[in-house]
Amino acid sequence: MNLNDYRMSRRTFVGSVAAALATVWLAPPGLRAANKTLILKTIPATGEALPVIGMGTSRTFDIGSDETTLSELARVLQAFFDNGGKLIDSSPMYGEAERIIGELLSRAEHRDKLFAATKVWTDGEQAGIRQMEESLEKWGIRRFDLMQIHNLRDWRTHLKTLREWKAEGKIRYTGITTSHGRFHRELEEILRNEPLDFVQFSYNIENRIAEERLLPLAAERGMAVLINRPYQRGTLFRKVKGKALPDWAAEFDCKSWGQFFLKFIVSHPAVTCVIPATAKVHHMKDNMAAGFGRLPDEAMRKRMVDYFESL
Ligand SMILES: NC(=O)c1ccc[n+]([C@@H]2O[C@H](COP(=O)([O-])OP(=O)(O)OC[C@H]3O[C@@H](n4cnc5c(N)ncnc54)[C@H](OP(=O)(O)O)[C@@H]3O)[C@@H](O)[C@H]2O)c1
């Protein structure tokens, strides 16, 4: 997609700047990185504030019980909480990830900050209920903040259960996910017709299809937006390998390519939170730093796309 396809209207953007200003809060003293502010956005359904950088767990947390790998992941999780992180996203689809999250949460400081998000990924009402109960046990928590229907799978059945669970206080928010640009038409139909609190899909500086319909629709419907695959599973870094970060990245407090990619995403007005995945402490610190300081404005976002496409 080139710049001509870039379709954020000025009106939308001005509104978003006002919203962004309203949601940039001072972080608690321990979290003020170089006197920068932790960036928060609000969940439209309730006005609850969330830090814009969350954490994914696909593949990175799907490991065995090797103590060395576990203790490295424990440090990754601790770096997440220590730098203001709250939202962790997982799924029963991610092998051992939910069990590992549970094991590491039990050792983590500040785990009371957790905003727990997982998914239901099976067919049938009873199987769905069993799977969600198993997930609770694996994470070792009493309730999920957000339960999402993974990849639209048997969504009519699970949506009924999720509404009941929300009414009973067993979950706080309902959501649905897709990725890689799949099922967008069907997802749009669902978003138009069903009240949901969250929607999750892929969006990054290379793959900006979601700007055309999904992001505006989610904003119009008052849904919080989680963004997966912010680094195209890491392939974006290959494209910029050996390339210097432009000097003007400093204008929005950006010191690395990781921060460049994440700040591009969370500066979109409709995006609530992005969920990069990493198994490395230094990458986690890098990712979390994107959640502090200034964000690019509309003109800067265009410049970022231009620059990235020129590489
Ligand atoms: N349908 C769905 O619901 C769906 C689909 C896809 C993904 N998701 C969710 O979205 C999350 C994120 O997507 P993803 O895991 O596919 O891909 P991603 O976050 O775009 O990329 C992950 C890759 O980026 C690398 N990385 C992370 N931070 C880095 C940094 N600062 N510098 C350099 N490299 C870095 C990681 O390697 P290192 O470990 O070496 O850092 C890893 O290989 C998933 O974990 C999952 O929770 C949901």
Q: What is the pLDDT of residues 88-144, one digit of tens each?
A: 999 999 999 999 999 999 999 999 999 999 999 999 999 999 999 999 999 999 999
* Rounded Cα gap, residues 182 and 178, in angstroms: 6
Instruction: Look at residue 108 in the predicted model and tell me its pLDDT.
Output: 96
Strands 171-177 and 198-202, bridge-based pairing: parallel
**Test site for ligand 1: of 55, 57, 58, 255, most ligand atoms within 8 A of the Cβ:** 58
Could you list the beta-strand ranges (E) of the chain: 40-42, 49-51, 55-56, 87-89, 115-120, 144-149, 171-177, 198-202, 224-228, 273-274
* Rounded Cα gap, residues 148 and 132, in angstroms: 10
Closest ligand 1 atom to 177 CA: 3
228 forms bridges with which residues in the sheet?
202
Q: What is the pLDDT of residues 60-77, one digit of tens each?
A: 999 987 899 999 999 999
pTM: 0.92
What is the pLDDT averaged over residues 148-172? Answer: 98
The first and second tokens of residue 290, run together, are 């994107």
Q: What superfamily does domain 3-310 belong to in CATH?
A: NADP-dependent oxidoreductase domain (3.20.20.100)
* Rounded Cα gap, residues 188 and 199, in angstroms: 10
User: DSSP state, 39?
Assistant: B
Residue 278 CA to ligand 1 center (angstroms) comes to 6
What is the pLDDT averaged over residues 271-276? Answer: 98
- Residues flanking ligand 1, CB < 6 Å: 56-58, 60, 89, 150-151, 177-179, 200, 228-234, 237, 258, 275-280, 283, 286-287
Decide if pLDDT at 14 tops 90: no
Q: Give the confidence band of 210 by pLDDT, cuts at 50, 70, 90.
A: very high
Closest ligand 1 atom to 91 CA: 47
Decide if pLDDT at 27 tops 80: no
